[in-house]
Amino acid sequence: MSHVPRSPDLPLKRDTIACAASTASELVRSVARNLRGVSFWAAIVLPAVYLPLLSGGLAGTEALLFVGLIAVNAGAFVFGHDHEPAAAR
């Protein structure tokens, strides 16, 4: 009967994979939290950009820019809705 040595590396590889998956999920959560914060503040600041566009009139490509800004602002409102500024500290 042959003796096959048991490899001690197998559990280590499993632990390494689990650790990498945990690190990746933490990274995804961190990126999502940061994007949510940026979206929250963008939703607050973007309306200030409307004023110069509206004061000069919406001729030509400015109308398209204005509609695009409204769409970006709406997206920022939706994505940044769950951000809690006090919890970020």
Classify residue 74: in a domain, yes or no: yes
Contacts (Cβ under 8 Å, ≥6 apart) of 66:
50, 53, 54, 58
73, 46 Cβ separation under 8 angstroms: yes
For residue 1, is it within any domain? no
The answer to whether residue 2 is domain-embedded is no
Residue 17: inside a domain: yes
Split at pLDDT 50, 70, 90, the class of 72 is: very high
Domain that holds residue 18: 9-88
The residue whose two tokens read 């963008």 is 42
- Residue-level pLDDT at 87: 62
How do residues 11-60 score in pLDDT, each as one tens digit? Answer: 555 666 667 677 888 899 899 999 999 999 999 999 998 888 888 888 88
| Number of structural domains the chain divides into | 1
Cβ count near 40 (within 10 Å):
20
Asked if the structure places residue 51 within a domain, the reply is: yes
